[in-house]
Structure 1
Amino acid sequence: MTEDEMRKRLAALMIEHRDLDAAIDALSTADSKDQLQIARLKKRKLRLKDQISIIEDYLTPDIIA
């Protein structure tokens, strides 16, 4: 995977993470409050955050001070 592809993947993951956040907020304020669905979305959001962190760490060079 090239650096450009990684940056595109990172952008897509960040958008999906933001969308999940909005979905979780919408479900939390809904009358039915499907706790199982909310829990699944939160788990997915955490997995996305881990993937985002891995890509960001790879793209950010280590600076030796």
Structure 2
Amino acid sequence: MSLESHLAELKRKHGELEREIDDAKLHPSVDELDVAQLKRRKLAIKDEMEKLKSAVTRH
């Protein structure tokens, strides 16, 4: 998998998590722990994207 396609896949997953978080917030019965877990996953993906972008700019 090329770096560009890997970044594109991470962006896609990041967007999916964003939508999932937004949808979860619309339901009053949502478990806040579930939302927190989604947010942690989203942040981990964002961190990975930033590391990859940083690695590209250094080379």
- Give the TM-score taking structure 1 as reference length: 0.81
SS in 2 for 1:33: coil
Distance 2:40 2:3 in 1: 23
Distance 1:53 1:13 in 2: 10
Distance 1:12 1:57 in 2: 17
Select the structure that is richer in helix.
2
Distance 1:59 1:8 in 2: 13
Shift of 1:24: 0.3
Identity %: 32
Unpaired segments ≥5 residues, structure 2: none
- Give the TM-score taking structure 2 as reference length: 0.89
Pairs aligned (count):
59
Moved more, 8-17 or 28-37: 28-37
Q: Which consecutive segments of 4 or more residues in structure 1 shift more than 3 A? A: none
Task: Tell me the equivalent position of 2:50.
Answer: 53
Structure of higher CA gyration radius: 1
Shift of 1:42: 0.3
